[in-house]
Amino acid sequence: MIVKVGDWVKWKYVQGSAFAEVVNLNVGQRSIMVRERGTHYNVLREAILEVRQAGQAQAKDVEYKLRSACLMAGGQKPFAMKHKMSTAYVNDVLRGRRYAGEKILKALGIVKVISYRKAKP
């Protein structure tokens, strides 16, 4: 499994599993450093369940990225004020009550792409 900085990995831990962004590769070692919700963890390569290449974010990945951005900004209110949106809107997206719209996606540097593919018979 090839992993690069910027990719998203699903990794397992005692309480379950989570998606996190890869921030550093420990070359020659058996672990990688990931960031989940503003906290860094060293994860053994054997614990990685799935890899999503950078640029292939899904809805849950947007939530994790928004949560990290809010933590870096000092909370939901400072993040919302900086990007000219309501705190309630940011909170609703984080709680799953609303989908991330254009303002949040722009603040996170993400573009929404809808794709279709042929169904399997």
Q: Where are the domains of the chain?
A: 8-52, 59-108
Q: Is 61 helix (H, G, I), strand (E, B) or coil?
A: helix
Cα within 13 Å of Cα(81), Cβ side: 6
Q: Give the pLDDT score at 107.
A: 93
Q: Give the pLDDT score at 49.
A: 67
Q: Give the pLDDT score at 2.
A: 67
Nearest alpha carbon to residue 65 among 24, 37, 25: 37
Question: What CATH class is the domain 8-52?
Answer: mainly beta
Q: Give the pLDDT score at 27.
A: 61
Per-residue pLDDT of the chain (121 residues; tens, 9 = 90+): 566 677 767 767 766 776 677 777 766 667 777 777 667 777 776 667 666 665 555 666 788 788 888 988 999 999 999 999 999 999 998 888 888 889 999 998 888 877 677 777 7
- pTM recorded for the entire structure: 0.54
d(CA 23, CA 5): 5
Q: Give the pLDDT score at 77.
A: 96
Sign of the alpha-carbon dihedral angle for 40, 43, 49, 51: positive
Q: Give the pLDDT score at 103.
A: 93
* Contact indicator for 24, 32 with CB cutoff of 8 Å: yes
